[in-house]
Structure formats: C-alpha cells, structure tokens
Amino acid sequence: MDIEINVEAPEPVYEQIVRQIQEGVTTGALVAGMPLPPVRQLANDLVLNRNTVARAYKLLEDQGVIQTAGRKGTFVRSGAADEVTRVKTGQAERSVRRLIEGLVSDGLNTEQISTIFQSALAVAAKG
Amino acid sequence: MTDWIDFAVYAAFLIALYFVQPGMQRRIFVPMLADRNPEWVAAHPDLVRGMAARRWPFWLSYALGTASLAVLAGAQLGLWQPPMMSHGGALPKWMWLWSLAMDAMLVAILVGAPIGIASHFQLKRLIPVATRRQATLERRSLDTSVPRWIQLPTYALVLANLAAWLVAGVLGTHSSPIFWVRVALMFFLSGFFFMVTRAMVARRTNAMDRIFGPSYRPWEVRMTFSTQILPPIVGAVRLYEEVTGTQLFDISRAMQLSLAALIAYWILYMAMLPIDHSAAPARATTANAA
C-alpha cells in the first residue's frame, strides 16, 4: 500500500499519515501483524522530518492501531480495525456534540435540531 | 594472446563509461525532472526541452572516450612503450592496460563529477520539490530481494573465510610478511560489502526507483549482495598461497578484470532497463513535455 502526503494541505502532515493508515486498516489493505516501515524509512521516502512520522506512529500506537515490538519493528495490531472504528466513532460523537451545543446556543430547541438532523440524514442517504 | 582478453574487457569498460552511460543519462533526464516536480515540468515545456537539448556534455564524453580508447589500443598494439617499474623492469602489459583503464575512469570522475554536481544544484534551485509525495508502507528488507537460502550460505562462507585466516594466523602457517595486513583487509572488505548491501536496502527511495519501476531496487540489492562473495573467493586463493607458498593463479589480474566487467555490465544493464511509464503519473507528464 502506498501513502501520499501534501505538505501544502490544511490538514497537518502527521494527521494525513494517521488517516491513511487508519483507512488502510479499515479497507483491509493493512491487516493485523503486517509490518510497517520504520520511522526512518518512511520519513526519508516522504522527505519529512523523522519527528513528524514518529508523532503519527505514536498517535496510532496510543489509539491501539499499531504496536512497536522493540527491534522487531512496528506492526499492525490485532483488532486494529475495531480500534479504528472506535476512534472514528468517538471523534464523530465529539463533533456532533459540539455541533449540537452550538445549535442550542443559537437558540434552537431539541425538536428543531432533531428535524434538521433527520432532514440532513435523508439527503445523505439519497447520495 | 591473453592480453587481448584484458584489452577487450577494458575497451568494453571504456565504451560503457564514455559512450553508453551518457546516453542513459540523457534518456532519464526528463523523467528525473518530472519525478522531482511533475507540475513544474508540465508548466515549463520549453525550458525542459531546452535543458534536454544540451549536447556539449555528451560530445565532451565522446571525445574523452575516443581519446581513452585510442591510448588503450595504442598500448595494446605496441605503438608506445610501457612505463618502467621502480626495480627497472617494464610494467607487464596486462597491468599497464588496467592502469590506463583506471586513469581513464579517474578522468571521467574528475570531469563528470563537477558537471554532475553543478547540474544537480542548478536543478535543485530551479525546480521546487513537489508538494505531493508518495511512499510505500511496505517495510524493506533484504529478504524481499535475496532469498534466505542464498543469504545463509553466503554469510557462512564469509565467516568461514575469516575464521580460516585467523586459524592460519594463530597456527603460524603463513609465508608472507604482510599476512596480518591481509587478514585486516579481509575483515575490512567483508564488513564493507555487508554494510554496502544494508545501505542499499535502507537507502531513500529516489527517482531511479520510480523511473525503472519496482524491480529496480531488488536488482540493485542483489548486485551489491553478490559482492559479499568476493572476499571469500580472493581469501581462498590468497590463503592457499600463504599456506603453500606457491601461486595458484594471478588473482589480482582476475579481480581487476572482474571489476571492470562488473562496472561495464552495470552500466549496460541500466542503459537497457525500460522506463516504467506506468509507475507514476509524472511519467505521462514527462512524455508530453519531452
């Protein structure tokens, strides 16, 4: 699997790496036990500072997506797909909660917010 | 008669160095620019065409190559006399041919390196690095290029060679006064070739990998891995000489010919490698720009 970064994108580079590895796990391109390149290799190939890649790996490790086994290197963790789903769900919940709080502070009541959500979901379902 | 074999090998080496290698550089010049920044290449077609049309480095290389071949041929045909050695005798012809080939290579380096370095920095200044960059998430290892069943016997052979030299040293069954220098050299070369192979596996992905496609690095790693067999071969012959006090055959001459043939093969192989146009979109941009 290849990874692509854009250093001029608004999304920080380390988050681009995290997101693409998470996507790889979700789509099955990266399966449990699969070795990942060392920080040095990935940083060299992407012409990035090693700290950027190390930060991405640290975040993925904290999320339970990958694990580092000393000199053996870094591997995709078993159950990584579930962890990615859990992380994504958590992020979505936080985003929705922030959005609802904003709407409430704008003066909308629960019923109105619910109607907006139902309508938005219906539009999304139609594609 | 055997001098003609030396001459043929060194002539092939010079042809590869001065005539084939510049052609290869010319072939990959625009793909290399596109690899650095395809958008820039697409946006500056006239500039790229102008840079690709520069011919003077090639004519310079062809002129030096022709002169080098003429000197080598003159030496082989006896048009000029070989230099004298310090003890008074004339330098053997095979050694003279080797010396001329290496002098020609030195000239190529002295002339080519400044041109290459200047060109590198000029392009670096002119073309910004692409903002989009790709890398593989596959971990590179020696195993992906060289199977374990080849690695293990090779390392065993390397270690056996080093052990044999140490045993001969401890038992005192050597005859040359420079025995321990040779032991040190054997350790140095074994370690050096091992490290070079590791470096090839770990090196940063560069334009060549993308221009020649995914089979390029494994080929490069296999070539450098195969050099690890050289110390055991030289070591076995030299150790035989040390222990018996007799010369089996001229290993120096064989190694010199092998080295020249290996470099010539390397250049010729790379000159014939097809450019992988499917490897990255940059190549399509390049083809249009060129």
Supply the pLDDT for residue B284: 34
Nearest Cα residue in chain A from B206: A45
Q: Residue for token digits 């975040």?
A: A59
Supply the pLDDT for residue B185: 93
- Least Cα distance to A43 among A54, A30, A58 occurs for A54
Cβ–Cβ gap A45/B129 under 8 Å: no
Contacts of B133 in chain A (CB under 8 A): 4-5, 7, 45-47
Contacts of B132 in chain A (CB under 8 A): 4-6
A71 three-class SS? helix
| Min Cα–Cα distance to chain B from A107, Å | 43
Cβ–Cβ gap B131/A3 under 8 Å: no
Q: Which two tokens stand for residue B22?
A: 């510049």
Angle of helix B56-77 relative to helix B93-126, nearest 10 degrees? 180
Cβ–Cβ gap A45/B136 under 8 Å: yes
Cβ–Cβ gap B131/A8 under 8 Å: yes
Query: Does the structure show a pLDDT above 90 at A47?
Result: no
Domain ranges of chain B: 1-133+280-290, 140-248
Supply the pLDDT for residue B278: 61
For residues A71 and B201, give the distance between their C-alpha atoms in angstroms, rounded to a whole number: 17
User: B136, B137, B210: best mutation site toward chain A, by most A Cβ within 10 Å?
Assistant: B137
Supply the pLDDT for residue B280: 47
Report the half-sphere exposure of B268 (CA within 13 A, side-chain side): 11
- Least Cα distance to A77 among A27, A17, A30, A113 occurs for A30
Number of Cβ atoms within 10 Å of the Cβ of B83: 10
Residues of B with CB under 8 A from a CB of A: 129, 131-140, 202, 204-205
pLDDT in tens, chain B (290 residues): 588 999 999 999 999 999 999 888 888 888 888 888 888 888 888 888 888 888 888 899 999 999 999 999 999 998 888 777 777 777 888 889 999 999 999 999 999 899 889 988 988 888 888 888 888 888 888 988 999 999 999 999 999 999 999 999 898 887 888 889 999 999 999 999 999 999 998 888 888 888 888 888 899 999 999 999 999 999 999 999 888 888 877 888 888 899 899 999 989 988 888 887 665 443 333 333 33
Cβ–Cβ gap B138/A37 under 8 Å: yes
Supply the pLDDT for residue B161: 95
Q: How many contacts (CB atoms, under 8 Å) link A and B?
A: 53
Nearest Cα residue in chain B from A25: B137
Looking at the complex, does the CB of residue A49 fall below 8 Å from at least one CB of chain B?
Answer: no
For residues A90 and A92, give the distance between their C-alpha atoms in angstroms, rounded to a whole number: 5
- pTM flag (> 0.90): no
Give the E-state strand segments of chain A in sequence order.
2-6, 35-36, 66-68, 74-76
Stretch A46-63: mean pLDDT:
92
Asked if the ipTM is above 0.85, the reply is no
Cβ–Cβ gap B204/A24 under 8 Å: no
Supply the pLDDT for residue B289: 33
B207 with B31: CB under 8 angstroms?
yes
Query: What does the pLDDT look like over A8-26, one tens digit per residue?
Result: 889 999 999 999 999 998 8
Cβ–Cβ gap A41/B131 under 8 Å: no
Cβ–Cβ gap A36/B139 under 8 Å: yes
Supply the pLDDT for residue B287: 33
Supply the pLDDT for residue B1: 57
Measured CA to CA in angstroms, residue B91 lies from B75, B83, B84, B250 at distances of 12, 6, 6, 15
Contacts of B138 in chain A (CB under 8 A): 1, 37
Supply the pLDDT for residue B103: 93
Cβ–Cβ gap A2/B137 under 8 Å: yes
Question: Which among B132, B135, B137 has CB closest to A30?
Answer: B137
For residues B6 and B20, give the distance between their C-alpha atoms in angstroms, rounded to a whole number: 20
- Least Cα distance to B211 among B273, B276, B272 occurs for B276
Cβ–Cβ gap B202/A4 under 8 Å: no
